[in-house]
Structures are given as structure tokens and as C-alpha cells.
Amino acid sequence: MTDTDRKLSDLVAVMKRLRSPGGCPWDREQTHASLKPCLLEEACEVCDAIDEDSPDKLCEELGDLL
């Protein structure tokens, strides 16, 4: 397993833990529909970072989007 594979696996494990019965109440309540406003806002911020030609900001905003 590569380092990237381990990091992705760790991310999936955190997401499962947050959405599990004993996990974060806010995360468990979220649906695709409830996340739409956040998704749109973060996507706009990604576009802004692209327009600003800012690789560091783009990386940060892509992390937020994901």
C-alpha cells in the first residue's frame, strides 16, 4: 500500500467514524440536499482561487470542497 493509499484509507475511516451511530451528530444529520449550499459556496471559492492563479489557495479550497 502506498502512502497515498494509506492517507485515503485514513480519510475514509474518519468519515465512517463521524457518520457512525456514536459519531458526530451534525455529520450524521447531513444529506446530499443539506450539503448543496456548502458545495456551491466551496466550488465558487475554488473558482476564485483559479482566477487568482494561487496554487496554495487552490489546494486549500479543493480540500474544503472535498
Query: Do 37 and 65 belong together in one domain?
Result: yes
- Do 25 and 52 lie in a common domain? no
Q: Which pLDDT belongs to residue 66?
A: 83
Same-domain status, 39 and 53: yes
Residue positions counted in the chain: 66
Other CB atoms within 10 Å distance of the CB of residue 18: 15
Q: Are 66 and 40 part of one and the same domain?
A: yes
Look up residue 17 and give its three cell numbers: 467514524
Q: Containing domain of residue 26, as a range?
A: 1-30
Query: Do 37 and 26 fall within a single domain?
Result: no
Alpha carbon 17 to chain centroid, angstroms: 15
pLDDT tens, position by position, 7-64? 999 999 999 999 999 999 999 999 999 999 999 999 999 999 999 999 999 999 999 9
- 22 and 39 inside one domain: no
Name residue, grid cell 492517507. Answer: 7
Position 1 scores a pLDDT of: 85
Give residue 53's pLDDT: 98
24 and 52 inside one domain = no
Q: How far is CA 65 from the centre of its chain?
A: 5
